[in-house]
Amino acid sequence: MAAAGPSVFLLMVNGQVESAQFPEYDDLYCKYCFVYGQDWAPTALPLASVSRADGGAGAEEGPRTVTRTEERRQHGDKARPWGWRQALAFPVYFEGGGNAVSSWTDVGQEREEGLEEGISQITSKSQDVRRALVWNFPIDVTFKSTNPYGWPQIVLSVYGPDVFGNDVVRGYGAVHVPFSPGRHKRTVPMFVPESTSKLQKFTSWFMGRRPEYTDPKVVAQGEGREVTRVRSQGFVTLLFNVVTKDMRKLGYDTGPPDTQGASGPSPQQGLPP
Amino acid sequence: MAEVHVIGQIMGATGFSESSLFCKWGVHTGAAWKLLSGVREGQTQVDTPQVGDMAYWSHPIDLHFATKGLQGWPRLHLQVWSQDGFGRCQLAGYGFCHVPSSPGSHQLHCPTWRPLGPWREQLARAFVGGGPQLLHGDAVYSGADRYRLRTVASGLVHLELGLLLRHFDRYGVQC
């Protein structure tokens, strides 16, 4: 195998959905999932999906005080609304010195099958001047692929209650997982789709239901966006630690390891004043 | 053949006087370049920002090129349009930027301009919108034929592009 050389490379991503800024909204929770090309497959599961699956099961057995949020979560469990793919559970090995083969990660074996997605807790704004919404919600996933095309994107959607207590979407956003190994901070702008007609706008306001994407994955796609009108109204801050394996062996040059992104992508992208 | 992956986003735009903006984009390459996968052109969503003055598009780009030569390194050309309350669109800016040649992730800030008509057109644009547009979009990314244009500055388009190169060192190319 060593003589043939590797044909797959690995991309390990961990980190967190750190916090958010939504000046107009409070009591929000966040969902994430990964969207990736055909040549990509996840090899380990995020912790979050397992704990969420447990929580969902518990909620079903418990007393029937199911809020909209719970419903959405359970619904999410059952309907598997996006990017669902059975995770491949097999160990990943380093090629150690000599014949020694050490296990790099075998978490995939121990976790039950699930999704490379998660749902956070509901958070309220901090009482201080930052007015930050902190989730501190873990991300942990490893991908393998033969081709960088279709590089994974994380798709975020944020929900919160409106004045009637219904859960409505407060923002969708997406960003590519960083290329280069290292620690990266990304501030993702969040937007919601808008009704195109005035009548729809009025009815959606009146009924307390606003337009949502049936499949949030569309925010990771470049096609078919020219018909959507959106309103950007917040930011989510993500923290990534990226480790790649065998990319250089496959001939890819990802450039110098970059940690400059850790201080934030750009001033324009920074949080609103 | 050497390969280039361009993966990233058209983040959004700042500095335009109009508020509801979208962007038509495309990639132009030399003859030696072949697009193996990905889409060569597209159009972003229309964003009306509620916080700050930056319109966010978060428009993903994922391109895989193979090349036999270095000439005609990919360049992105952009057209920013604004949409008013009636759904009418008017040109807000043209711009282009070369895809960076060094691997890694890059923040690009592409300045844009729009053609400026005679004063009567300028006055009409201020009141009823519209304004001159280029008949041939290739003037955006080529230097020919520019000398006849009168233009005025408009906003900036912000891009975040990651570049992955493959097998360039095999041909002795330093990027």
Greatest CA separation for chain A: 71
Domains of chain A: 1-45+112-255 (2.60.40.150)
- Axis-axis angle for helices A68-79, A47-61 (nearest 10): 120
List the domain range (segments joined by +) for residue B81.
2-171
CA-nearest of A258, A255, A203, A200 to A229 is A200
Specify the range with the lowest mean pLDDT, choosing from A20-24, A260-264, B8-12, B106-110. A260-264
Q: B169 — contact with chain A (CB < 8 Å)?
A: yes
pLDDT the model gives residue A178 = 93
Cβ–Cβ gap A226/B163 under 8 Å: no
Specify the range with the lowest mean pLDDT, choosing from A100-109, A257-266, B14-23, B52-61. A100-109
pLDDT digits (tens, 9 = 90+) for B70-99: 889 999 999 999 998 888 899 999 999 999
Cβ–Cβ gap B47/A175 under 8 Å: no
Q: A197 — contact with chain B (CB < 8 Å)?
A: no
* Amino acid at position A118, single letter: G
pLDDT the model gives residue A3 = 52
What's the rounded mean pLDDT across residues B102-107?
92
Q: B125 — contact with chain A (CB < 8 Å)?
A: no
CATH code, domain with B97: 2.60.40.150
CA angle B6, B83, B162 (to 5 degrees): 10
What's the rounded mean pLDDT across residues B14-21?
92
Chunked mean pLDDT (size 10), chain A, 273 residues: 73 92 93 94 57 38 38 41 34 37 38 64 88 91 93 95 88 94 93 87 80 91 88 94 90 74 43 43
> What does DSSP say about strands A9-21 and A133-145: parallel, antiparallel, or unpaired?
antiparallel
pLDDT the model gives residue A62 = 36
In order of A232, B16, B96, B116, B135, the CA distances from B153 in angstroms are: 25, 10, 13, 10, 19
d(CA A132, CA A25): 11
d(CA A3, CA A94): 15
d(CA B148, CA A148): 43
> B31 near B64, Cβ under 8 Å?
no
pLDDT the model gives residue A115 = 54
Q: Which residues pair with B76 in a beta bridge?
A: B27, B97
pLDDT the model gives residue B117 = 85
Q: How many domains, chain B?
A: 1
Phi/psi at A220 (5° precision): -95, 5
What's the rounded mean pLDDT across residues B146-162?
91
pLDDT the model gives residue A64 = 36
Cβ–Cβ gap A231/B47 under 8 Å: yes
B chain contacts of residue A258, beta-carbon cutoff 8 Å: 104-105
